[in-house]
């Protein structure tokens, strides 16, 4: 096998490890994920995985980066923050694995002392800058701190998807007309984003 062919196979295996790890982390979280399961399903050795990524937290960080890049590609933020919120909702509804990875990250990393890698923070810095642009253009209420508005819109996008199963069941059994969650997400985002009187 040529060196170029070996490199290509190594790259394919590494990409397969990341994809299998994404499914593993989405299902079990960081603490419950097992590198030996990832290795077996990806047909890669544990030693190779550790050589590539260092440890399980570093592998999770790679999975988070892949997820963030995919979200940025599929749901690019624009100054139409209401539309962005609805598209984010649609993406998480269609790809619950991406939402679960994000939630596990929030749970696992919240309150940890160490700084996150710069490449993880870059995407959020860009999003905050777009929120500022929307505010400067009169498209979003300038009374909000940009990072708080972004956080609130993310919460709105995921609100019904993350709502307790009990609430879903109660809502399904009520006599009131069924309202599409997407419509409610749009209405909530509009009320948050639109500048006040």
pLDDT of the residue at 105:
75
Distance, in Å, from the CA atom of 133 to the CA atom of 139, rounded to the nearest integer, reads 8
Report whether pLDDT(1) > 60. Answer: no
pLDDT of the residue at 163:
85
Task: Enumerate the CATH 1.10.10.60 domain ranges in the chain, comma separated.
Answer: 1-63
pLDDT of the residue at 186:
96
pLDDT of the residue at 68:
79
Q: Which residues of 119-158 are buried (b: 16+ CB within 10 A; e: fewer)?
A: eeeeeeeebbebbbebbeeebbbeebebeebbebbbebbb
User: What is the average per-residue pLDDT within 166-188?
Assistant: 85
pLDDT of the residue at 2:
58
Cβ atoms within 10 Å, residue 172 = 8
Q: What angle do CA 25, 55, 92 make, to 5 degrees?
A: 25
pLDDT of the residue at 66:
83
pLDDT of the residue at 80:
98
Report whether pLDDT(8) > 70. Answer: no
Task: Enumerate the CATH 1.10.357.10 domain ranges in the chain, comma separated.
Answer: 75-197
pLDDT in tens, 99-145: 888 777 777 777 665 777 787 788 889 999 999 999 999 999 999 99
Of 180, 196, 163, 183, the closest CA to residue 82 belongs to 183
User: What is the average per-residue pLDDT within 142-158?
Assistant: 96
CATH number of 75-197: 1.10.357.10
Question: According to the CATH classification, is domain 1-63 in 3.80.10.10?
Answer: no
């Amino acid at each position: 096998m040529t060196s170029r062919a070996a490199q290509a196979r190594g790259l394919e295996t590494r990409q397969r490890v990341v994809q299998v790890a994404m499914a593993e982390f989405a299902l079990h979280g960081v603490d419950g994920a097992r590198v030996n399961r990832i290795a077996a399903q990806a047909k890669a050795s544990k030693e190779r995985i550790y050589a590539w990524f260092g440890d399980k937290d570093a592998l999770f960080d790679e999975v988070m980066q892949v997820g963030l890049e995919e979200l940025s590609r599929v749901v690019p933020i624009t100054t139409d923050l209401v539309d962005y919120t609805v598209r984010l909702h649609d993406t998480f509804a269609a790809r619950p694995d991406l939402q679960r990875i994000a939630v596990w990250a929030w749970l696992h990393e919240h309150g940890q002392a160490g700084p996150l890698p710069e490449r993880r923070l870059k995407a959020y810095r860009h999003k905050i800058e777009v929120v500022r642009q929307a505010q400067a253009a009169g498209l979003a209420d300038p009374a909000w701190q940009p990072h708080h508005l972004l956080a609130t819109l993310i919460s709105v996008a995921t609100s019904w998807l993350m709502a307790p199963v009990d609430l879903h069941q109660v809502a399904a059994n009520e006599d009131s007309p069924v309202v599409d969650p997407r419509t409610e997400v749009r209405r909530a985002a509009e009320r948050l984003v639109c500048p006040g009187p």
